[in-house]
Amino acid sequence: MLVPQDTLRCCCINHDPLIIVTYGNPMAGPAKLAPLLAGRRVYFLAGAWWSYLDLKLLYQTVQVYKGFQAAHPEHQHVFLTNDPEEGGLLDKVGLPHFYCHHNAFIDENLFKPLPRVEKRLDAVYTARLVRLKRHVLAREIPSWGLLHGLSPNDRRKELSYLRYLRRQMPGMELLNGDPETGEYRLFAPEQMCRAYNMARVGLCLSAVEGGNYAAAEYMLSGLPVVSTRSKGGREAFFDAEISRVVDDDSRAVAEAVAELAARRLPPQFVRLRTLLKLKEMREDFIRLVNAILDKEGRPQDFGERFAKVFVHKLYGYPASPEAFVAGLA
């Protein structure tokens, strides 16, 4: 059994029984923790950043899950999905699942409208420097800002792609490059929020991915969104008042950005509609946890404790699996 490798991102939300939320590759976190929790009753609520509509991820997850079922029958798994369409696939392959979009766990206090920040850009796009993000679809927007990451393993390739984008799109501005040296800077959420508030509209341009944190971060910051049609679930927070979903065409993207910018939607209006969806999804998650507690003979209202265990995105980065498990004692 080839176990997927990924950074451990997890959070314990209940101690008796143990209920642990993990994110990233859906089986990577449980794979790191399960051997250290052998013999203990554990529920792993496994969220994914990529889509199960990608059959490669689905097949890998099934194979690893079956191996862990055999090795650790005392451990239960629930796979959290970002797209209702994924549920049918998971049913077919026997993976227990629950629809709970990971954007429900963005800390709404980190992303909000900042009235004193000048809106000097037509749009903003948070996107890795990979072609699947289809940055070139923004080429007809007069001015837009790019927020990007840099992978240690693919840094040279990504910087080459960035140089290509800068040649193609003179209207693009790098928002997390140092203003004096141009060097890349990793932004904290507060800096991301300020950058979002410099723009009138947020962009989502890939054809397939996972739930897309940026989509909700834009809207919590008061920005309406222009998206292309996509698979993976990012449209869960969209509605016709605060978003446009357009064809894979740069002119259509630019026209939708111009239309939404011209509407001058009050940022608090966009944020409120987003908060309502976030609240509904969190309530669904609380019902899931309550059902587990009832099943284990520990009935209680998890909703009364949710705020105490909540952290941004519902995960942290423990120093090691051993350190995390030691903290559960």
What are the tens digits of pLDDT across the range 171-181? 999 998 776 66
Is 116 part of any domain?
no
Closest Cα partner for 135 from 51, 198, 206?
A: 206
What is the residue type of 263?
Answer: R
What value does the mean pLDDT take over residues 240-250?
Answer: 96
Sign of CA dihedral 110, 112, 115, 121: positive
Smallest Cα–Cα separation from 201: which of 181, 184, 180, 215?
A: 215
Same-domain status, 129 and 259: yes
Summarised one tens digit per residue, pLDDT across range 104-138 is 999 999 999 999 999 999 999 999 999 999 999 99
Asked whether residue 100 falls in the same domain as residue 229, the answer is: no
153 occurs within a structural domain: yes
Question: Is 90 a domain residue?
Answer: yes
Quote the pLDDT of residue 157.
87
Q: Indicate whether 197 belongs to any domain.
A: yes
The better pLDDT of the pair 75, 183 is held by 75
- pLDDT, position 152: 74
Q: How far is CA 225 from its chain centroid?
A: 16
* One domain, residues 132 and 261: yes
Mean pLDDT of 214-224: 97
User: Per the domain annotation, does 113 fall within a domain?
Assistant: no
In a shared domain, residues 101 and 125? no
Task: Give the model's confidence band at 209: pLDDT under 50 very low, under 70 low, under 90 confident, else very high.
Answer: confident
Contacts (Cβ under 8 Å, ≥6 apart) of 183:
177
With tokens 């699947």, the residue in question is 132
Q: Are residues 31 and 95 in the same domain?
A: yes
pLDDT computed for residue 220 by the predictor: 98
Q: What is the mean pLDDT of the chain?
A: 93
In this structure, the answer to whether residues 200 and 174 fall within a common structural domain is yes
Domain that holds residue 294: 10-105+276-326
User: Looking at the structure, do residues 155 and 44 belong to the same domain, yes or no?
Assistant: no
Check whether residue 236 and residue 128 sit in a common domain: yes
At 10, phi and psi to the nearest 5? -155, 170
- β-strand pairing of 75-81 with 42-47: parallel
Is 114 among the domain residues?
Answer: no
Q: Is residue 88 part of a domain?
A: yes
- pLDDT higher than 80, residue 62: yes
Q: Is residue 205 part of a domain?
A: yes
- Residue 180: what pLDDT? 64
In angstroms, the CA 292 to CA 98 distance is 12
pLDDT > 70: percent of the chain: 98
Answer with the one of 214, 236, 265 that is the final residue of a domain. Answer: 265
The answer to whether the Cα torsion of 273, 276, 278, 284 is positive or negative is negative
CATH number of 133's domain: 3.40.50.2000
Give the pLDDT of residue 2. 63
Read off the pLDDT of residues 256-285 as tens digits, 9 standing for 90 and up: 999 999 999 999 999 999 999 999 999 999
What per-residue confidence (pLDDT) applies to 186?
A: 86
Q: How many C-beta atoms lie closer than 10 Å to residue 141's C-beta?
A: 25
Domains held by the chain: number: 2
Q: Taking each helix axis from N to C terminus, what angle separates 213-220 and 189-196, rounded to the nearest 10 degrees?
A: 60
Q: Quick one: 245 and 146 in the same domain?
A: yes
Q: Are 261 and 283 in a shared domain? A: no
Give the rounded percent of residues in the chain with a pLDDT score beyond 90.
84
What's the rounded Cα separation, in Å, for the pair 192 and 207? 23
**Pair 138, 224 in one domain:** yes
Tell me, yes or no, whether 74 and 127 share the same domain: no
